[in-house]
Amino acid sequence: MNSFLRFAAVLVALCNWYALTIGGSPAILASYGWADLLALLLPTVLGLVAAELTIRRARKPLAGNFLDRYAAMAATVWIGGMLCGVVLAWGGVLHDQALGLVGTIGFGAVASLWGVICGGVLGIGEGLMLGLPLAVVLGWFGEKAGSVPTARGVFERVRTPRDG
Amino acid sequence: MKYLLRTALAGGALVFALALASAAWIEYSARNSCASVGVPSFPAQTPGGASATLVDRILPEYQIGEKHSVIVVAPSARAFESLKEAKSDAQPIIKLFNLLPVLAGKSDNSSPSEKKSLYEKLQDSSGLVLEEPNRELVAANIATADKHIPSTPETVRGFVAYRLRHNEMKLPVSFHAEPVESGVRLTTETRIMFADRKLCRDFAWYWGVIYPGSSLLRVDFLDAVKRRAEHGMAPIPEDQKEVPETATDGGTQ
């Protein structure tokens, strides 16, 4: 289940990164060198951070009923959107040679604000849509891992002899 | 559901804290930048005594500005050729900015193919255009914060000597190619000079708020020029294969 969450978060982050930087012109991808491809590590890491936050902070909802799983997945995509928004917005600030260290930090705050707002709006929009299929798939994983639905609708793992 | 609500609360608190920090920074930055309004200036000089660049010649001192550059691994002529062809919204992320006029109810009806390159747009919309082939382009205007449209002097001397009136500002945008070991450093710079401290403070607030978007736009535009020059193989016109030693800024001085 955790691996699926990490995989889904990284996939969503990479797809968004692709849409925002390459978009409808895959020819741009052909002009990418190794250094540019290394930039793909950024959305991967941000996706993993969002997934780890959810795994650590929302263990119960992830194993809960559909609505809980849906909310947790929507929140994960939302957090990922905010993180990616901040990093994208910092891109321009970091490249400005007219700013000193103080200016970079100062305008970094403004960039972060825009990143959180714009990334957050896109993230919650995507999260509310993608949360539905992701919550369904997450439910299948819960079942396949040996969980059974309880009377409260919560999946609980069945202890097997191999568990000791 | 609790997790989603906690995320919303944390996001809200973060936005609030960042809004406070941003407002404090923009106010500080506006005060700092606009302190030099009306202070006598000295022209920028290179060690040899000549003016460094065209933009240094027409506006050596300014209150607000931004400067971005990129190393293009290609000859200067090819970099400039790419610059002339690149459209300002070539990158997908920049296309998102095109949604703003649509959201504001002012949609642009022209089709993408009809849109001019940024280079052409700057040349068409600027009162003073200076160009050193394959080296530098400066497009300068006298802009205002109100509805009246001042006429921009069409000579360097006229632009430098122009005394700004109430609500007016000098605003040059430049592209400059400087040879480096691996190719050329292509730099874009925008400078804004005010004669009115209140206008400077107001504009600094506006600039501070839009700065991240403006900055991102420039970085992505330079990136598009770099890609076009390095991989798109823009042809070098026969008459531009060698960089001329002398400036051809229209002999306006």
Find out whether B236 and B77 touch, Cβ atoms under 8 Å: yes
Give the tens place of pLDDT for each residue, B87-143. 766 666 666 666 666 666 665 555 554 567 777 788 788 888 888 888 888 999 888
Q: Are A81 and A120 in contact (CB under 8 A)?
A: yes
Q: What is the pLDDT of residue B106?
A: 62
Residue B248's pLDDT band (boundaries 50, 70, 90)? very low
Q: B43-68, pLDDT tens digit by residue?
A: 554 545 455 788 888 888 888 888 99
pLDDT of residue B12: 93
> Could you give the 3-state DSSP secondary structure of residue B139?
strand
**Most confident listed range (B13-22, B38-47, B158-167):** B13-22
**Chain B residue nearest residue A24, CA to CA:** B92
ipTM field:
0.76
Beta carbons of B92 and A113 less than 8 Å apart: no
Residue B150 pLDDT exceeds 80: no
Q: Judge whether B46 lies within some domain.
A: yes
Inform me whether the pLDDT recorded for B20 exceeds 90: yes
Tell me: the pLDDT tens digits for A71-81? 998 999 999 99
B231 lies in some domain: yes
Q: How far apart are CA B151 and CA B141, in angstroms?
A: 8
Asked if A98 lies within 8 A of B14 by C-beta distance, the reply is no
- Check residue B123 and give its pLDDT: 78
CATH number at residue B215: 3.30.530
Residue B236, both tokens: 């070098």
Model confidence at A49: pLDDT above 50 = yes
pLDDT (tens digit per residue) in A85-139: 999 888 888 888 778 888 889 999 999 999 999 999 999 999 999 989 988 888 8
Residue B34: how many CB atoms within 10 A of its CB? 21
Among A42-46, A58-62, B79-83, where is mean pLDDT lowest?
Answer: A58-62
Predicted confidence at residue B121, as pLDDT, reads 80
Query: Which residue of chain A has the CA closest to B66?
Result: A98
pTM score = 0.77
Q: How far is CA B163 from CA B39, B105, B130, B200, B252, in A?
A: 14, 37, 20, 16, 19
Provide the CA A14 distance to its chain's centre, in angstroms. Answer: 9
Is the CB of A107 less than 8 angstroms away from the CB of B25?
A: yes
Please judge whether B208 and A117 are an interchain contact, meaning their C-beta atoms are less than 8 angstroms apart.
Answer: no
Q: How far is B194 from chain A (nearest CA, A)?
A: 18
Give the Cα separation of A77 and A47 in Å (integer): 8
Q: How many domains does chain B have?
A: 1
CA distance B174 to B55: 7
| Residue A145 C-alpha, separation from nearest chain B C-alpha, in angstroms | 23
- Parse chain A into domains and list their residue ranges: 2-149
Q: What is the DSSP-derived secondary structure letter of residue B187?
A: E
| Within a domain: B182 | yes
Of A54, A98, A114, the CB nearest to B65: A98
**Of all helices (H) and strands (E), which one includes residue A74?**
helix A66-94
| pLDDT above 50 (res A153) | no
Tokens describing residue A82: 């905010």
Q: Closest-CA residue in chain A for B233?
A: A31
As a whole number, the mean pLDDT across chain B is 79
Contact residues on chain A for B231, CB-CB shorter than 8 A: 30-31
Positive or negative, the Cα torsion across A88, A90, A92, A94? negative
Chain A contact for B219, CB < 8 A? yes
Q: B199: buried, middle or exposed (CB in 10 Å: 19+, 13-18, 0-12)?
A: buried
Residue B57: domain span: 35-106+116-240
